[in-house]
């Protein structure tokens, strides 16, 4: 079927009007405070939580009164360290102060009043993972504080049109290395409604962006129906049916 130029123009105007109406209904509120010309000192660095030792960190164990026992150790993949005096001590997930206190107690079995300190000589990069309906899924490495939810999704190139941003969740390894699912409120973050929804991720977190329900149905159709069926919604009719030899078939 061929549309006349007038009908095409009318349809285009309807589409443009609908697009303009949707644009006017933006979910982002209009009363957000303006960004300052220069960032102000908010004390953000001072309020960071204490650093927790990671696998691959290089630690220097120092003894003030027994310098011959000073040594550097690396946190093993099992999260433990070994020193000349202490054969096995968990370091992963602990603060430097906590580990030093634990080593001080262990060293006191062989030394009188050991004065033990721990210094992180080099930091292993932290890793988070983003998968699902994002443009560039993968592993993302940082040094220092871990990424926030919005930063991780930005590193992954943003979400696709087929995503369900109301159902984004985090997979995190909890106590005993058991995985748990954690919900997010990324939709409120994306619409500028709740800045607290930009949660900070933990090392090795997996952010998963699921497909929307419509995208799931479309994928199901393509996989199980579309590739096997080729429905035709056209029709045909005959001209000059009395004269079979001169029959003309017109399809739409």
**Six-digit token pair at 229?**
């069926």
> Per the domain annotation, does 42 fall within a domain?
no
Residues 102, 131 within the same domain: no
Domain stop point among 122, 144, 160: 122
Domain stop point among 105, 122, 139: 122
Residues 194, 112 within the same domain: no
User: How many domains does the chain contain in total?
Assistant: 2
> Per the domain annotation, does 63 fall within a domain?
yes
Residues 67, 115 within the same domain: yes
> Per the domain annotation, does 224 fall within a domain?
no
Domain stop point among 104, 122, 140: 122
Residues 111, 195 within the same domain: no
Lowest mean pLDDT among 22-26, 82-86, 147-151: 22-26
Residues 156, 145 within the same domain: yes
Q: Give the E-state strand segments of 167-229 in sequence order.
A: 169-173, 179-183, 206-209
The closest of 154, 157, 128 to 143, measured between CA atoms, is 128
**Six-digit token pair at 238?**
């005959």
Residues 91, 150 within the same domain: no
Lowest mean pLDDT among 78-82, 114-118, 175-179: 175-179
Residues 129, 117 within the same domain: no
Task: Read off the CATH number of the domain in which 114 is found.
Answer: 3.30.1950.10
| Higher pLDDT, residue 5 or 47 | 47
Answer whether residue 250 shows pLDDT above 50.
no
Over residues 47-60, mean pLDDT: 88
* pLDDT band, very low/low/confident/very high, at 247 (cuts 50, 70, 90): very low
Give the span between the Cα atoms of 97 and 90, in whole angstroms.
13
| Higher pLDDT, residue 36 or 242 | 36
Note the pLDDT of residue 220: 63
| Higher pLDDT, residue 62 or 240 | 62
* pLDDT band, very low/low/confident/very high, at 46 (cuts 50, 70, 90): low
Query: Per residue in 174-228, pLDDT tens?
Result: 877 889 999 999 999 988 999 999 999 998 999 999 988 776 666 666 666 666 6
Greatest mean pLDDT among 28-32, 72-76, 242-246 lies in: 72-76
Residues 114, 81 within the same domain: yes
The SS3 call for residue 120 is strand
Give the span between the Cα atoms of 21 and 242, in whole angstroms.
54
Task: Read off the CATH number of the domain in which 157 is found.
Answer: 3.10.560.10
**Six-digit token pair at 186?**
């990324």
> Per the domain annotation, does 27 fall within a domain?
no
Taking a C-beta distance cutoff of 8 angstroms, is the pair 73, 83 a contact? yes
| Higher pLDDT, residue 82 or 21 | 82
Torsion of CA 108, 110, 115, 118, to 10 degrees: -90
> Per the domain annotation, does 41 fall within a domain?
no
Place of tokens 């979400």: 159
> Per the domain annotation, does 236 fall within a domain?
no
Q: What strand order describes the sheet that includes 126-132?
A: 138-142, 126-132, 206-209, 169-173, 179-183
Answer whether residue 34 shows pLDDT above 60.
yes
Taking the CA atoms of 211, 217, 223 and 226 in sequence, report the sign of the dihedral they define: negative
The closest of 47, 190, 50 to 120, measured between CA atoms, is 50
User: Domain residues for 145?
Assistant: 125-218
Give the span between the Cα atoms of 75 and 55, in whole angstroms.
5
Answer whether residue 67 shows pLDDT above 90.
yes
Give the span between the Cα atoms of 11 and 192, in whole angstroms.
34
Note the pLDDT of residue 168: 94
Taking a C-beta distance cutoff of 8 angstroms, is the pair 206, 128 a contact? yes
> Per the domain annotation, does 47 fall within a domain?
no
> Per the domain annotation, does 36 fall within a domain?
no
């Amino acid at each position: 079927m061929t549309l006349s130029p007038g009908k095409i123009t009318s349809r285009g105007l309807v589409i443009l009007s609908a697009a303009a109406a949707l644009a006017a209904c933006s979910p982002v509120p209009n009363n957000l405070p303006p960004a300052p010309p220069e960032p102000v000192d908010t004390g953000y660095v001072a309020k960071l939580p204490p650093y927790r030792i990671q696998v691959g960190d290089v630690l220097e164990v120092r003894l003030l009164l027994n310098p011959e026992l000073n040594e550097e150790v690396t946190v093993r993949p099992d999260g433990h360290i070994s020193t000349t005096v202490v054969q096995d001590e968990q370091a992963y997930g602990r603060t430097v102060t906590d580990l030093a206190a634990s080593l001080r107690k262990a060293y006191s079995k062989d030394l009188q009043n050991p004065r033990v300190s721990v210094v992180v000589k080099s930091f292993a990069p932290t890793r988070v993972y983003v998968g699902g309906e994002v443009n560039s899924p993968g592993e993302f490495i940082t040094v220092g504080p871990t990424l926030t939810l919005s930063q991780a999704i930005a590193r992954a190139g943003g979400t696709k049109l087929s995503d369900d941003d109301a159902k984004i969740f985090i997979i995190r390894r909890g106590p005993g290395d058991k995985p748990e699912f954690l919900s997010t409120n990324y939709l409120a973050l994306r619409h500028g409604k709740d800045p607290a929804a930009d949660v900070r991720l933990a090392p090795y977190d997996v952010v998963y962006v699921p497909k929307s329900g419509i995208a799931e149905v479309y994928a199901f159709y393509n996989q199980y129906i579309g590739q096997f069926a080729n429905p035709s919604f056209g029709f045909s009719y005959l001209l000059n049916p009395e004269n079979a030899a001169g029959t003309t078939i017109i399809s739409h």
